[in-house]
Amino acid sequence: MSKEFEPNILGFLCNWCSYAGADLAGTSRMKYPSNLKSIRVMCSGRVDPSFVLEALRKGVDGVLIAGCHPGDCHYQSGNYKTNRRIKLLKKLLMELGVEPQRVRFEYVSASEGQKFASIVTEFVAEMKKLGPNPITVDKK
């Protein structure tokens, strides 16, 4: 009997908004899949595209980067920069023939627990459909 594929999702969550949003989802007892492992970063701008590449290489199936809404960045423009960096990364992944859907950037504020839960639910479902990440070295 084959078990259903459970994707490994890594989330880089901004300390000031998305992490609090994830907290709110938890304290409000909203349900979302447990596939997400989160890393709190001080700003989504701290996420270098290389971290995403390294995560994909080390065996995660999808990477979610969540930051503040436009205009809300604690450091003025970190979220804008990440938005563009991820856009470039996805473009290059596409060039290299790796599914760009495995990387996702979203704006989640501290009050958007519901949005956070639904993004994760949707992302996990998408990764389940896409199947295991082909470029991993860390999983069997």
Partner 1 sequence: MTQKVLKVKDNDVLGSTNEFLRHLLSSGKIQALLVPQSIPSKKVVYPVLIADPKKLHADIIAPVLPVATATVVSKITKVQPPSKPIGVVLRSCQIRALIELVKLNQASLTNIVLIGVDCPGTFPINTYAGFPEKKTPTHFIIDAITKKTNDAEQYLRSACKVCKDPIPTNADIILGFYGTDIEKEIIVEAHSEIGKDLLKDLPLEDEKEGNAREKAVKEIREEKDKKRAMFLKEKEGIKGIEKVAEFFDKCVNCHNCRQACPICYCKECLFDSSVFDAEAYKFIRRAENKGLFKMPSDALLFQLGRMNHMILSCVECGLCEQACPNTIPLMEVFIPAAENAQKEFEYHPGKDKTEKVPMIVYREDEFLEVGEK
Interface contacts to partner 1, rule CB under 8 A: 48-51, 53-54, 57, 70, 77, 80-81, 83-85, 87-89, 91-92, 95-98, 101, 104-107, 134-135, 137-140
The H or E element containing residue 87 is helix 78-96
Asked if 82 and 41 touch (Cβ cutoff 8 Å), the reply is no
Q: Which is nearer to partner 1, 29 or 81 (CB)?
A: 81
Residues near 27 by Cβ (< 8 Å), separated by ≥ 6? Answer: 113
Query: Which among 83, 133, 79, 81 is positioned nearest to 109, based on CA atoms?
Result: 79
Least distance to partner 1 from the beta carbon of 27, Å? 26
User: Of the two residues 26 and 70, which places its CB atom closer to partner 1 in the complex?
Assistant: 70
Tell me the closest approach of the beta carbon of residue 29 to partner 1, in angstroms: 26
